[in-house]
């Protein structure tokens, strides 16, 4: 169950600046080790954000794109794609001050419960450098594949720890 006060609403066109803000916040550590000036960092992050959005549209055309709200205020994004064989956690990202508060864990546990009830796995790809790998492992996800940049993980419906 998500934390108290957490709700979801569909992404709207006016949310793009917020979605970029959330995306950029996930790259703060990476940007901190560059010697790029802020305008170059911003240009790079905007290009990467657009590439990510295009990738999601191309590979998950029917996914649900939601804004995570805390007491009605946007704090993150939650993109999920469903089909008859699996639930794909496309993206879950929270603004830094809302991380490690159980919000993401609650939303993921709901997906795991949905997968268990439907008898299908929940799958995701996580960036190799992303600390969320530990959370996914704790929740019952197992590594099932690799790319040069990402790890593919799956929680089989009988193996999830919700």
What stretches of the chain show up as alpha helix (H) in DSSP?
16-25, 28-32, 38-59, 103-118, 132-138
Residue 161's pLDDT band, with cuts at 50, 70 and 90, is low
Query: How many domains in the chain?
Result: 1
Residue 102 domain flag: yes
Residue 13's pLDDT is 92
* Cα torsion 28, 29, 32, 33: sign: negative
How far apart CA 59 and CA 126 sit, in angstroms, is 15
How far apart CA 54 and CA 58 sit, in angstroms, is 6
Task: Judge whether residue 22 has pLDDT over 60.
Answer: yes
Residue 78's pLDDT is 96
Task: Judge whether residue 1 has pLDDT over 60.
Answer: no
Residue 52 domain flag: yes
Q: What is the CATH number of the domain that holds 99?
A: 3.40.630.30
Domain hosting 79: range is 6-155
Widest pairwise Cα distance in the chain: 49
* Crossing angle of helices 38-59 and 16-25, rounded to 10°: 110
Residue 109 domain flag: yes
pLDDT tens-digit readout, 58-101: 999 889 999 999 999 999 999 999 998 999 999 999 999 998 88
How far apart CA 35 and CA 80 sit, in angstroms, is 35
Residue 64's pLDDT is 93
Task: Judge whether residue 35 has pLDDT over 60.
Answer: yes
Residue 162 domain flag: no
How far apart CA 24 and CA 132 sit, in angstroms, is 17
Residue 121 domain flag: yes
- Any idea what DSSP says for residue 129? T
Residue 117 domain flag: yes
Residue 22 domain flag: yes
Residue 98's pLDDT is 92
């Amino acid at each position: 169950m998500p934390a108290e006060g957490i709700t979801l609403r569909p992404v709207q066109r006016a949310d793009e600046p917020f979605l970029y803000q959330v995306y950029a916040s996930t790259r703060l550590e990476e940007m901190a080790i560059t010697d790029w000036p802020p305008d170059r960092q911003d240009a790079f992050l905007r290009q990467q954000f657009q590439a990510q959005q295009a990738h999601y549209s191309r590979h998950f055309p029917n996914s649900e794109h939601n804004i995570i709200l805390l007491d009605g205020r946007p704090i993150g994004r939650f993109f999920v794609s469903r089909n008859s064989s699996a639930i794909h956690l496309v993206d879950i990202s929270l603004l830094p001050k809302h991380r490690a508060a159980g919000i993401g864990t609650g939303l993921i546990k709901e997906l795991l419960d949905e997968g268990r009830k439907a008898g299908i796995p929940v799958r995701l790809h996580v960036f190799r450098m992303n600390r969320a790998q530990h959370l996914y492992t704790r929740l019952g996800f197992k590594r099932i594949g690799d790319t040069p940049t990402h790890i593919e993980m799956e929680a089989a419906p009988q193996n999830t720890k919700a």
